[in-house]
Structure 1
Amino acid sequence: MEWKYKRLAPPRAAGVAGVVFAILTATAIVLVRVALPGGADGDGVTVDAGERSAVRTALELVPFAGIAFLWFMGALREQAGEREDKFLSTVLLGSGLIFVATLFGAAAAAWTVLDEGGQGSSFGRDVAYALLTTYAMRMAAVFVITTSSIGRRLGALPRPLVVLGYLAGLTLLVVGASVPWSELVFPAWVLLLSLNILWGRRPGTARPAASA
């Protein structure tokens, strides 16, 4: 007997969770970037009431983005099944968990720009910027490259998406904080991968049928 919850099982669940994560994360990155002009070198950052409200909303969405990413990551690993490469699967899991942890840390530090006077804490601003642009994006790069490698080995991803994944991963790994707004590469890649899954190019299609 099949339960109704199986309708949300991978790979559709991976696509839906990926779209949710991409939208929420991109929104949070944009609004946090607005609140941190000049990055870690910005002096005397003052956030007015309207900006504080927008940034507060974005930061409150970050935990939901993290939950969606965990669901997305778990659904992707489910598709590999018994064919998964233990080494790559371990790297993917580790990089994904560290990414979520550093994203949460960056969001927590970013709260320091929302004090009553609107004068952001220099220490908190520097920590938030470093966690987001250096550590979180490096882990995102490892996640992208690992996912692309698994998709290539299993034949689960189209070649253009694999190549794009490698390019996105190298960009996040090498560019880092030197190019403003480069963090948006990761949610953009997740969105493309999720749409690919939802449009029918599902990793599970290559899995052989189980015997009766």
Structure 2
Amino acid sequence: MVGIAFAVLLTAVIVLVRIVFPSLPPSTHEWHTSSSGREPLRWALALLPFVGIAFLWFMGALRAYVGEAEDKFVATVFLGSGVLFVATLFELATSAGSMLDMTAMRGGLSQLQLLQYGHHFTYTLLSSYCMRMAAVFTLTTTTIGRLLGLFPRWLVWLGYLVGLVLLFVVVNVRWSELAFPFWVLMVSCHMLTAPHRSE
């Protein structure tokens, strides 16, 4: 259930951020001029701590599902990429929150240039780092599920496809970040309907 909660929360955050920053590369000339343009970003930032908490619980549920049979090397990459994903997500929130605080300040061109820097910094964290850590997490989790026979073939193929999309495509294709919460949702539904039985 916690994986489903994470998938729903992360989807909501991505949609809210895309409402504010619809273009690739993002433009900073419109969103910060009105409070209504900033409101979806405020909601996304309010949800992000719960996204991180739900993801950590999801990692715990996955480890319990795998049990004692996990490979230590792959499990180390699994844990490392998951923790880095959450850390990058929180860094993203810090950067975006700083930009929101700056919009309340009055200023001239220097303020706009600082906003542009912060905007591109936030977007780079999301697309280049956060989603690529999610890609490593997806690929390692899928590998664990395949090696131990925990995932059906369709879920293995889906995991590798999502991992590759997050690794190589997410920077250039709008809304492709939604592949990650969709994959988590599918894994969570599989865990709920086909629980692993210890031998």
Structure 2 CA distance, aligned partners of 1:54 and 1:46? 10
Q: Distance in 2 between matches of 1:134 and 1:37?
A: 17
SS at 1:177's partner residue? coil
Q: CA deviation at 1:57?
A: 1.4
- Of 189, 194, 199, the residue aligned with 1:201 is 194
In structure 1, distance between residues paired with 2:123 and 2:46:
18
Deviations 1:113-134 (A, max 9, x none): 4622797811111111001011
- CA drift at 1:108: 1.7
Deviations 1:73-130 (A, max 9, x none): 0111122222110001000000000001111111221221462279781111111100
Could you tell me which runs of 5 or more consecutive residues in structure 2 were left unpaired when the two chains were aligned: 107-111
Q: Give the aligned residue type for 2:126.
A: L
On the 8 A contact 1:140/1:186 being kept in 2, the answer is: yes
1:35 is matched with 20
- 1:84 aligns to 2:70 (yes or no): yes
Cα distance in structure 2, aligned partners of 1:20 and 1:93: 20
Partner of 1:5: none
The match for 1:154 is: 148
Deviations 1:156-192 (A, max 9, x none): 1111011111111011111131111111110111011
| CA shift in 2, pair 1:193/1:150, >3 Å | same
Query: Partner residue of 1:23?
Result: 8
Letter in 1 for 2:15: V
Q: Runs of 4+ in structure 1 displaced over 4 angstroms?
A: 117-120
- 1:44 Cα deviation after fit: 1.5
Contact 1:32 / 1:110 at 8 angstroms: preserved in 2? no
1:40-98 deviation per Cα after TM superposition (whole angstroms, max 9, x unaligned): 44242334322322221111110001000000001111222221100010000000000
Which amino acid in structure 2 is aligned with residue 181 of structure 1? W
- The share of aligned pairs that are identical, in percent, is 49
TM-score of the aligned structures, taking structure 2 as reference length: 0.88
DSSP 3-state at the match of 1:38: coil
The DSSP-based 3-state class of the residue aligned with 1:121 is: helix
Equivalence map 1:106-117=2 (5 Å): 106-111=92-97, 112-113=99-100, 115-116=103-104
Asked whether the 8 Å contact 2:66–2:150 carries over to 1, the reply is no
Correspondence list, 1:66-85, <5 A? 66-85=52-71
Listed as ranges, the gaps of 5+ residues in structure 1 are: 1-15
Q: 3-state SS of the aligned residue for 1:42? A: coil
CA RMSD of the aligned region, Å?
1.8
